[in-house]
Chains A and B, each alone.
Chain A
Amino acid sequence: MIDDLFHERLRSSLDHCVKCTICETACPVANVTPLFPGPKYAGPQAERFRAHGQPADESSVDYCSGCGLCTMSCPQGVKIAELNAHARYAVKQRKGVPLRDRLIARPTVLGRLGTPVAPIANAMLKARPARVLAERVLGIHRDAPVPRFAGRRFRTWARRRQAPGVGTKIVYFHGCGTEYYEPDVGEKVVAVLEHNGYSVEIPEQDCCGLPLQSNGLFEDARKYVQRLARALAPHARDGTLIVGNATSCTLMLKREAREILGLEDDPDLALVSRQTYDICELLLELHDRGQLRTDFEPVEEVVAYHAPCQQQGHWIGKPALELLALVPGLDVRELDARCCGIAGTYGFKREKYQIAMDAGAELFNQVEASGARVVACDSETCRWQIEHGTRRPSVHPIELLHQAYRL
């Protein structure tokens, strides 16, 4: 269910469309495949043919990856990506959600299953025959950049950790990527925060529900994000900030859960939403106040930086660029390609893998041309895709800062 009045409010933004086509030029998907007619068509135009309780026989909107670049580029304020998300939800309501989508939308379940048997699971993920089978049976593309299980969980480390207990309190929202696949990134985030005088609390937490939402499983997504908001809200209530390195998950808390799932009225979420920061956003603010430690040692490296779509959705510019500029020796090349293509779980899917790769080609070529050996990027699934598409390591900007601090 989508609250009807909420949907109507979203829908009314279609009135602002003047058909200028700017969104179409921004859309990474429409530019590489005729299967998706583009944001103007799928959003403000098709929406006029959709009526309450009368789902139209449509399916092309399922090719929208939900990257959100259209909404960001529309000069008139049409909520294109949000309308598309609602339309995708309706399509899935009508046609059903495939098992595959239910599965890949639940990183927690996958993580819990995979972690204890990580060596076997990872071997399977590498083994060609197993991947071919998974493609046939589940529809997960054999070449898709699925991540490797770390074999340990970030929370185990967090529980054992000796918190210094001094400094400004801050809550760390680490997300599922850190929990199951990249616990070392989480450790670096904590170290950088502590180095800057924070006392980091890591409360019990679970998935933000973003993959569920982007797969049209709105009911489950709502449950997840509301549960997460309940877990974080008590900490936020006394003014403590929440910070995360998974930029799409922090965007979910800040904006998407309210603007797509219609949770405007959830008081916990409203509070959490106000207090949530992207890690680079937080550090740059600190720097602007003269409070960021700048005892960076040189890092002699050429790094390309890609701001993922979801990071741009924060409307905070590109703070990572300014932070990395503080590190001596670091030669950062800003890329302006639209999107890496992956869009969360989109590029994992058999029928969308090639579209995602084609959408990412512009970025991959830019990386190639930049001469960089490493690509910095704020979102984990984008990093996996970039590694897959460029055969170069991709890191979170915080990892470079961590390295420069020599922590």
Chain B
Amino acid sequence: MEKLSADVLVIGGGATGAGVAWDAALRGLDVVLVERGDLATGTSGRFHGLLHSGGRYAVKDPSAAHECARENGVVRHVAADCVEDTGGLFVATPFDDPAYADRFAEGCRKTGVPCEEIEPARALREEPRLNPGISRAFRVPDGSIEVWKLVWALARGAQDRGARVLPYHEVVAVHRGGDQVHGARVRNTRTGQELDVEAAVTVSASGAWAGQIAAMAGIEGVHVKPGRGIMIAMSHRLVNTVINRCQLPTDGDIIVPIETVCVIGTTDVGTDDPDDHTIIQAEVDAMLEDGERLVPGFKQARALRVWTGVRPLFEDRKENGATDTRDVTRAHALLDHRERDGVTGFFTITGGKLTTYRLMAEETVDAVCLQLGDARPCTTSAEPLAGSENGEYHRVGDRLGRREQRLLDDQLICECELIPRKRIEETIRWRGTTDLDDLRRLLRLGMGPCQGGFCIYRVAGILHGLDGIDTPDANAGLIDYVRERWKGVWPVLYGDQLRQARLDEWIYQGVLDVEHLQ
């Protein structure tokens, strides 16, 4: 059996795991990162897209608010290229408790969340589609964050410093000898091959799955209660600022403009299984009603797709009797299992938010270094990620600008998201993948209004033409992709999206008869 050895094995390739890998690699540690799927396909790839200002937690969870406020500034600096500086508004709609606004402003002041009250008329000028009935408006530094870009920038940065990053590698056993964890056995989910990773320290950054990994190490009582939430992406940006309802956090109270879409979310329903992606139609309908409260006409606008994510809410029943998952603190939990369970070489980092990934990584690697007896300082708050060196934020128009430069010399493949042929070919090469979903995450391939209904055949054609990729693989990639996309589309099949789906289906079944491809 193949063996790898490293100083640190990181389990989980979400924002936290990738953040830990980057942090540790920057400190000169030798890192192996394993992720059972592609990077950021757990909660990180299914989140809402919001770089929190902290405003959301200003009243309910001051310590989380404070953490977000601090990290917001740091992430804007080190990952500028992944962040869009949309700004955020908290608006009191006619459906909100008017008394909350003052508590909100006070909460922001206390927790260090920058917040400025503005005239509702001004908010409406900036966001013309907003409910004209708003009575108060506060401006906060919310932003939106492109997670796949972030996680890959972290992972590639770590790779450049020697880390080995292994997507599609699932931990099947944690190696424990006595009171010591010394690595894990992982299985390549594509080939079925297994390998052992030997490590001085193992960090489980497996989010909602942390309980499962801990159990593999024979550690009981790590309860991560998954809180499932749905989000709906709309076909174009109805707002260009993050819009929050000014009230205690509840369902469907935030719209995040991110890339070419805007996303409304979310809900929070307790579940037992972190892989539970059930979409309940009543939740979808309620969410669209919520949208209508913030943006009149929301229900007439075109919805693209729905998805769910599970929050990793670390819960210690002994200390906190809360049962509604929204009441559990959103602050993160770092468990040093030597202190907690007498097991050395093993840490769990879970909970928190995407916004605080860096802080979570810093605390984790600090503890790792401490245990290794080699205190090295963290530098992630000063070291910009590749692509973010000039500190310029990402802008939604960037792609259009780039496309305009290349009109004459590069074919357009994904028309909705403006992805040219060369970009796709390059990405297939460096990722060495025929999985169109991998390409989707890296490029936003097929994430626009037609949901791949047109471009995906062109990409399959490109795959067919590339050396070393055989026909069945290329065809399988195509069929898998289309089926996967379909899952998120059916709950919003009405109006424009239904019309699109009909046309896509005719192409799929009628014109091309893809189902019978060999």
Contact B260 A48 (CB under 8 A): yes
Which A residues touch B404, using CB under 8 A? 56-60
Which of B186-194, B242-250, B394-402, B429-437 lies at the interface with chain A? B394-402
A15 at the binding interface (Cβ < 8 Å): yes
Contact A5 B454 (CB under 8 A): no
Contact with A along B448-472 (1 / 0, CB 8 A): 1110011000000000000000000
Which of B113-121, B122-130, B305-313 lies at the interface with chain A? B122-130
Q: Which of A11-37 contact B (CB under 8 A)?
A: 11-12, 14-20, 34-35, 37
A290 at the binding interface (Cβ < 8 Å): no
A204 at the binding interface (Cβ < 8 Å): no
How near does chain A come to B233, taking the closest CB pair, in angstroms? Answer: 12
How near does chain B come to A90, taking the closest CB pair, in angstroms? Answer: 10
How near does chain A come to B432, taking the closest CB pair, in angstroms? Answer: 30
Bound Cα distance from A7 to B128, whole angstroms = 9
Bound Cα distance from A14 to B448, whole angstroms = 12
A402 at the binding interface (Cβ < 8 Å): no
Contact A47 B236 (CB under 8 A): yes
Which of A38-46, A147-155, A216-224, A389-397 lies at the interface with chain B? A38-46
A315 at the binding interface (Cβ < 8 Å): no
A274 at the binding interface (Cβ < 8 Å): no
How near does chain B come to A91, taking the closest CB pair, in angstroms? Answer: 10
Contact B450 A49 (CB under 8 A): no
How near does chain B come to A87, taking the closest CB pair, in angstroms? Answer: 10
Chain A residue total in the interface (Cβ 8 A): 36
Interface-centre pick from B235, B236, B415, B448 (highest chain A CB count, 10 A):
B236
Q: Determine the residue in chain A with the shortest Cβ distance to B241.
A: A52
Bound Cα distance from A20 to B507, whole angstroms = 11
Bound Cα distance from A50 to B450, whole angstroms = 19
How near does chain B come to A401, taking the closest CB pair, in angstroms? Answer: 44
Which A residues touch B257, using CB under 8 A? 51
Bound Cα distance from A268 to B3, whole angstroms = 82
Contact B400 A14 (CB under 8 A): no
Contact of B415 among A12, A16, A41 (CB under 8 A): A41
Q: Determine the residue in chain A with the shortest Cβ distance to B127.
A: A52
B240 at the binding interface (Cβ < 8 Å): yes
Interface-centre pick from A7, A8, A15, A19 (highest chain B CB count, 10 A):
A15
Contact with A along B314-332 (1 / 0, CB 8 A): 0000000000000000000
Bound Cα distance from A20 to B503, whole angstroms = 8
Contact B407 A37 (CB under 8 A): yes
How near does chain B come to A321, taking the closest CB pair, in angstroms? Answer: 34
Contact A45 B302 (CB under 8 A): no
Which B residues touch A34, using CB under 8 A? 407-408
How near does chain B come to A43, taking the closest CB pair, in angstroms? Answer: 12
Contact B397 A5 (CB under 8 A): no
Contact A52 B418 (CB under 8 A): no
A4 at the binding interface (Cβ < 8 Å): yes
Which B residues touch A47, using CB under 8 A? 236
Bound Cα distance from A197 to B491, whole angstroms = 63
A76 at the binding interface (Cβ < 8 Å): yes
B110 at the binding interface (Cβ < 8 Å): no
B442 at the binding interface (Cβ < 8 Å): no
B416 at the binding interface (Cβ < 8 Å): yes
Bound Cα distance from A56 to B297, whole angstroms = 26
Bound Cα distance from A55 to B412, whole angstroms = 22
Q: Determine the residue in chain B with the shortest Cβ distance to A6.
A: B128
A54 at the binding interface (Cβ < 8 Å): yes
Contact B301 A12 (CB under 8 A): yes
Contact B499 A49 (CB under 8 A): no
Which A residues touch B299, using CB under 8 A? none
How near does chain B come to A333, taking the closest CB pair, in angstroms? Answer: 37
B237 at the binding interface (Cβ < 8 Å): yes
A53 at the binding interface (Cβ < 8 Å): yes
Which B residues touch A7, using CB under 8 A? 128
How near does chain B come to A57, taking the closest CB pair, in angstroms? Answer: 3
Contact A15 B400 (CB under 8 A): no
How near does chain A come to B163, taking the closest CB pair, in angstroms? Answer: 34
Contact of A50 among B400, B496, B499, B500 (CB under 8 A): B400
How near does chain A come to B395, taking the closest CB pair, in angstroms? Answer: 6
Which B residues touch A15, using CB under 8 A? 235-236, 301-302, 449, 496
Contact A48 B126 (CB under 8 A): no
Contact A50 B301 (CB under 8 A): no
Contact of A18 among B301, B399, B401, B450 (CB under 8 A): B450
How near does chain A come to B328, taking the closest CB pair, in angstroms? Answer: 36
Bound Cα distance from A53 to B397, whole angstroms = 11
Contact B126 A52 (CB under 8 A): yes
How near does chain B come to A112, taking the closest CB pair, in angstroms? Answer: 39
Which B residues touch A46, using CB under 8 A? 400
Bound Cα distance from A22 to B58, whole angstroms = 51
Contact A17 B449 (CB under 8 A): yes
Contact B418 A49 (CB under 8 A): yes
Which B residues touch A55, using CB under 8 A? 397
Contact B499 A18 (CB under 8 A): yes
Known A-B contacts: A19-B453, A50-B397. Give 17 more (CB < 8 A). Answer: A14-B236, A19-B450, A35-B407, A41-B412, A45-B418, A48-B237, A48-B260, A49-B396, A51-B237, A51-B257, A51-B395, A51-B397, A54-B396, A56-B396, A56-B404, A59-B404, A76-B496
* 12 residue pairs from A and B, CB less than 8 Å apart: A12-B300, A12-B301, A14-B235, A16-B499, A34-B407, A48-B236, A48-B237, A54-B240, A54-B395, A54-B396, A56-B396, A56-B401
